[in-house]
Structure 1
Amino acid sequence: MNNGKAKRVFDFSLLNRVFSFAAPYKRYFYVSMFLTVMLALLSPVRPYLIQLTVDKYITNQWTQMLVIVSIIQIVMLLIETAVRFFFSYITNWLGQSVIKDLRVAVYRKVTRLNLSFFDKTPIGTLTTRTINDIEAINDIFSEGIISIVADVLMILAILGVMFFEDWRLTLISLSPFPVLILATYWFKEAVNKSFHRVRNAVAALNAFVQEHITGMLVVQAFSAENREFGKFRVINKDHRKANIDAIFAYSVFFPVVEIILAISLGLMVWWGANKVLNYEVTQGVMIAFIMYLNMLFRPLRILADKFNTLQMGMVASERVFKVLDSGEYMPDHGTHTATGMKGEIRFENVWFAYTDERYVLKDISFHAKAGQTIALVGHTGSGKTTIISILNRLYEIQKGRITIDGLPLQDYQLSELRSRVGVVLQDVFLFSGSIYDNITLRNPAISREQVEHAARLIGMHDFILQLPGGYDYPVMERGSTLSLGQRQLISFIRALLYDPAVLILDEATSSVDTESEQLIQHAIDKLIAGRTAIVIAHRLSTISKADQIIVLDKGEIREMGNHEELLRMEGYYHKLYTMQFQKTQSV
Structure 2
Amino acid sequence: MSELFAGLHADEYDRTYGNRRLVARILRYLRERRGAMLGSAALVVGAALLTAAVPVVISRVIDQVGGGTGLGLRLSLFVVVAAVLAWVMNWVRQAVTARLVGDVVYRLQCDAADAALAKDVAFYDGNSAGQVMSRVTGDTEGFSSVMTLTLNLLSQVFLVLLLGGVVFWIDVDLGLIILATLPILLGVALAFRRVARTAAAGTRRVMARVNANVHESMLGISVAKSFGREKAVYRDFDEVNRLSYAVYIRQGLIYAVILPVLTMLAGLATAVVLYQGGRFAVLGRLSPGEWYFAIQAFGMLWQPVTQAASFWSLFQQGLAASERVFALIDSEHAIVQHGDEPVTRLDGEIEARGLVFRYGTGATVFDGLDLRIAARETVAIVGHTGGGKSTLAKLIARAYEFQGGELLIDGRDIRSLDLRGYRRRVGVVPQHPFLFAGTLAENIAYGRPGAGHADVERAIERIGHRVWSRSMPLSLHDRLTSGGQGVSVGQRQLIALARMFLQEPDIVLLDEPTASVDPLTERGIQDALFRLFEGRTVLVIAHRLSTIRRADRVLVLREGVIAEDGGFDELLRRGGAFAALYATYYAHQRSA
Q: Same fold (TM over 0.5)?
A: yes
Shift in CA distance, 257/348, structure 1 to aligned 2, threshold 3 Å: closer
| Structure 2: gaps spanning 5 or more residues | 1-8
| Matches of 1:174 and 1:321, distance apart in 2 | 37
Deviation at 1:554, TM superposition (A): 0.8
Deviation at 1:46, TM superposition (A): 0.8
Indicate the residue corresponding to 1:147 in structure 2. Answer: 152
Shift in CA distance, 276/410, structure 1 to aligned 2, threshold 3 Å: closer
Indicate the residue corresponding to 1:512 in structure 2. Answer: 517
Question: Is this contact kept in 2: 1:350–1:397, CA < 8 A?
Answer: yes
Counterpart pick for 1:100 among 103, 106, 117: 106
Shift in CA distance, 442/492, structure 1 to aligned 2, threshold 3 Å: closer
Counterpart pick for 2:53 among 45, 57, 70: 45
Counterpart code for 2:348: G
Shift in CA distance, 540/133, structure 1 to aligned 2, threshold 3 Å: same
Counterpart pick for 2:433 among 428, 431, 437: 428
| Matches of 1:370 and 1:185, distance apart in 2 | 66
Shift in CA distance, 404/248, structure 1 to aligned 2, threshold 3 Å: closer
State the Cα deviation string for residues 471-493 of structure 1 (Å, max 9, x = none). 23211110102111111111110
Counterpart code for 1:503: V
Counterpart pick for 2:131 among 125, 136, 139: 125
Indicate the residue corresponding to 2:213 in structure 1. Answer: 208
Question: Is this contact kept in 2: 1:377–1:384, CA < 8 A?
Answer: yes
* Percent identity over paired residues: 29
The reply to whether residue 72 of structure 1 matches residue 86 of structure 2 is no
Counterpart pick for 2:28 among 20, 30, 33: 20
Shift in CA distance, 465/566, structure 1 to aligned 2, threshold 3 Å: closer
For structure 1, which segment, 299-308 or 185-194, has the greater mean C-alpha deviation from structure 2 after superposition? 185-194
Counterpart code for 2:588: K
Provide the aligned length of Structure 1 versus Structure 2.
Answer: 578
Indicate the residue corresponding to 2:369 in structure 1. Answer: 364
Shift in CA distance, 271/61, structure 1 to aligned 2, threshold 3 Å: same
Indicate the residue corresponding to 2:336 in structure 1. Answer: 331
Deviation at 1:265, TM superposition (A): 6.2
SS at structure 2 position matched to 1:478: coil
The reply to whether residue 400 of structure 1 matches residue 405 of structure 2 is yes
| Matches of 1:97 and 1:443, distance apart in 2 | 32
Indicate the residue corresponding to 2:6 in structure 1. Answer: none
Question: Is this contact kept in 2: 1:148–1:307, CA < 8 A?
Answer: no
The reply to whether residue 351 of structure 1 matches residue 356 of structure 2 is yes
Question: Is this contact kept in 2: 1:351–1:362, CA < 8 A?
Answer: yes
Matches within 5 A, 1:449-468: 449-458=454-463, 459=465, 462=469, 467=474
Shift in CA distance, 480/324, structure 1 to aligned 2, threshold 3 Å: same
| Matches of 1:396 and 1:180, distance apart in 2 | 53
Shift in CA distance, 573/439, structure 1 to aligned 2, threshold 3 Å: same
Indicate the residue corresponding to 2:4 in structure 1. Answer: none
Matches within 5 A, 1:135-534: 135-144=141-150, 146-165=151-170, 184=189, 188=193, 190-255=195-260, 282-285=287-290, 287-289=292-294, 291-306=296-311, 309-356=314-361, 358-441=363-446, 443-458=448-463, 459=465, 462=469, 467=474, 470-534=475-539
Counterpart code for 1:108: D
Indicate the residue corresponding to 1:61 in structure 2. Answer: 68
Counterpart code for 2:145: D
| Matches of 2:523 and 2:22, distance apart in 1 | 59
Shift in CA distance, 394/442, structure 1 to aligned 2, threshold 3 Å: closer
| Matches of 2:547 and 2:499, distance apart in 1 | 20
Question: Is this contact kept in 2: 1:431–1:479, CA < 8 A?
Answer: yes
| Matches of 2:286 and 2:477, distance apart in 1 | 82
| Matches of 1:287 and 1:167, distance apart in 2 | 16
The reply to whether residue 577 of structure 1 matches residue 585 of structure 2 is no
SS at structure 1 position matched to 2:427: strand
State the Cα deviation string for residues 358-398 of structure 1 (Å, max 9, x = none). 32123333333333211001111111111111112111223
| Matches of 1:408 and 1:269, distance apart in 2 | 78
RMSD of the TM alignment (CA)? 3.3
SS at structure 1 position matched to 2:476: helix
Deviation at 1:521, TM superposition (A): 1.4
Deviation at 1:257, TM superposition (A): 5.1
Deviation at 1:269, TM superposition (A): 6.6
Counterpart code for 2:69: W
Indicate the residue corresponding to 1:85 in structure 2. Answer: 91
Deviation at 1:25, TM superposition (A): 2.1
Deviation at 1:163, TM superposition (A): 4.5
For structure 1, which segment, 166-175 or 221-230, has the greater mean C-alpha deviation from structure 2 after superposition? 166-175
Question: Is this contact kept in 1: 2:186–2:305, CA < 8 A?
Answer: no
Deviation at 1:532, TM superposition (A): 1.9
For structure 1, which segment, 114-123 or 267-276, has the greater mean C-alpha deviation from structure 2 after superposition? 267-276
SS at structure 2 position matched to 1:43: helix
Question: Is this contact kept in 1: 2:507–2:538, CA < 8 A?
Answer: yes
Deviation at 1:564, TM superposition (A): 0.7
| Matches of 1:274 and 1:356, distance apart in 2 | 73
| Matches of 2:240 and 2:279, distance apart in 1 | 60
| Matches of 1:401 and 1:257, distance apart in 2 | 63
State the Cα deviation string for residues 101-138 of structure 1 (Å, max 9, x = none). 23322322222223222222222332233223333333
Deviation at 1:418, TM superposition (A): 1.1
The reply to whether residue 114 of structure 1 matches residue 136 of structure 2 is no
Deviation at 1:543, TM superposition (A): 0.8
The reply to whether residue 32 of structure 1 matches residue 37 of structure 2 is no
Deviation at 1:80, TM superposition (A): 1.4
State the Cα deviation string for residues 125-164 of structure 1 (Å, max 9, x = none). 32233223333333332113x3333323322333333454
State the Cα deviation string for residues 506-542 of structure 1 (Å, max 9, x = none). 1211112223323321321221122221111211111
SS at structure 1 position matched to 2:590: helix
Deviation at 1:352, TM superposition (A): 1.9
Counterpart code for 2:247: A
State the Cα deviation string for residues 149-197 of structure 1 (Å, max 9, x = none). 3323322333333454456777888998788567645654553343232
Question: Is this contact kept in 2: 1:435–1:475, CA < 8 A?
Answer: yes
State the Cα deviation string for residues 248-291 of structure 1 (Å, max 9, x = none). 34444445555566666667777777887898765544554554
| Matches of 1:367 and 1:277, distance apart in 2 | 99
Deviation at 1:353, TM superposition (A): 1.6
Question: Is this contact kept in 1: 2:196–2:312, CA < 8 A?
Answer: no
Indicate the residue corresponding to 2:5 in structure 1. Answer: none
Deviation at 1:558, TM superposition (A): 0.7
Counterpart code for 2:419: L
Question: Is this contact kept in 2: 1:195–1:242, CA < 8 A?
Answer: no
| Matches of 1:68 and 1:151, distance apart in 2 | 28
SS at structure 2 position matched to 1:471: coil
State the Cα deviation string for residues 208-227 of structure 1 (Å, max 9, x = none). 33233323344444444434
Question: Is this contact kept in 2: 1:439–1:493, CA < 8 A?
Answer: yes
